[in-house]
Amino acid sequence: MKLLEDRIRQDGKIFPGDVLKVDSFLNHRIDVALLSQIGKEFYKRYQNEGVSLILTVEASGIGVACLAAEAFGCPVLFAKKSKTSNIGDNFWSATAHSYTHGNDNTLIVSKDYLGKGERILILDDFLANGCAATALTEICAQAGTTVVGIGAVIEKTYQKGGDALRQKGFRVESLARIASMSPEAGIKFC
């Protein structure tokens, strides 16, 4: 998606440790007009999959998911990273390691809102090691739902997550696919 690649080139900042900071438009400050375009692009790619629910993870996936859900005309469900006091014990869960934060998160989804018959599109801001997306597919399997696709705004294709999910048979679509990046050489897209 050229609009997105241009924006990443313009505003993305690369830091040592393989960090691409895009928090000026994607996951701290949110450029809602851009996310609306991104949502329409996901719809274009998955519109024939009968998506009934978009599943994401708090917090940075929520904006992406909500704007895409407008295009799909479906609701969003976001997995929580901690058990809140009022979710009870009625939940599906799976563990995801966060390389950004250096910890494990137990992702939790209430059983009330994820059940058989749903056709799930998993969306998130980043796909790198694929830990969060994999945990969400595990939750979907527990709930007996069908994952019709996995979409990421930005994929670091040189990490293993996206291809591991593709090898499992999931249809993975990323709107900006980074082949390599470094503070010295900048970003190369696929």
Residues that bind its own copies (CB under 8 A): 15, 19, 21, 23-25, 28-33, 35-36, 58-59, 62-63, 65-67, 69-70, 73-78, 80, 82, 84-87, 100-102, 109-110, 112-113
The residue with tokens 């934060």 is 101
Tokens of 60: 């940075």
Q: For residue 20, how far is the Cα from the chain centroid?
A: 16
* The one-letter amino acid at 14: I
Phi, psi dihedral angles at 119 (to 5 degrees) = -115, 110
Integer distance in angstroms from the first to the last C-alpha of the chain? Answer: 11
Tell me the C-alpha distance between 119 and 60, whole Å: 22
Q: Which is nearer to its own copies, 87 or 164 (CB)?
A: 87
Angle of helix 60-72 versus helix 32-46 axis, rounded to 10: 60
State the sign of the Cα–Cα–Cα–Cα dihedral 5, 9, 134, 94: negative
Q: Which is nearer to its own copies, 109 or 150 (CB)?
A: 109
78: left (phi over 0), alpha (psi -120 to 50) or beta: beta
Q: Which is nearer to its own copies, 5 or 23 (CB)?
A: 23
Q: Which is nearer to its own copies, 29 or 160 (CB)?
A: 29
Q: Which is nearer to its own copies, 1 or 71 (CB)?
A: 71
